[in-house]
Structure formats: C-alpha cells, structure tokens
Amino acid sequence: MSELQRLYETILGVRLDRANFRKKIIGLKIVRKTGERPSGKPHKTPHLYSFDKRAYSRALKTDLNFSI
C-alpha cells in the first residue's frame, strides 16, 4: 500500500495522509489482500495487496471517482 501511495503522491505532486489514502483505496474495492506478508523483516509487516482488474473495470463503468 505504501508503494501505491508513493506512486499517487508522485503523480499528483502532493503528500497524502496515510490512513485516509488506505481507507479510500480499500473503499474503492480495486485492490484485495493477498493473505501474504513480506518475510524477513524484524517488525510486523504490512499486508500485501493485489490489483483487481475486473473490479477496476466495473468501477470505471460506474463513474470511478478518486478525489483527494
């Protein structure tokens, strides 16, 4: 999720609030948890997500709106 946020921040040229970004992306239902976490890290690692292309296509048809 942090990589996706950095991508959006780079494209938009603004910093985004981490918690609000996560809620918005998950609320759009275009990503889903893989059930995996990166291994080999000393601290609790975040969940990994995958892009759901079908959900994204459906969202585009129903006027997908990602406003910040």
Confidence class of residue 68 from pLDDT cuts 50, 70 and 90?
low
The token pair that represents 52 in the structure block: 């759901």
Q: 36: which residues sit within 8 A by CB, 6+ positions away?
A: 47, 48
Q: 15: which residues sit within 8 A by CB, 6+ positions away?
A: 9
Q: What is the pLDDT of residues 7-65, one digit of tens each?
A: 989 998 999 999 999 898 888 888 998 988 877 667 777 888 999 999 888 888 886 66
Domains of the chain and any CATH numbers: 2-61 (1.10.10.10)
The whole model's pTM is what? 0.70
The token pair that represents 37 in the structure block: 């976490």
Q: What is the model's pLDDT at position 7?
A: 92
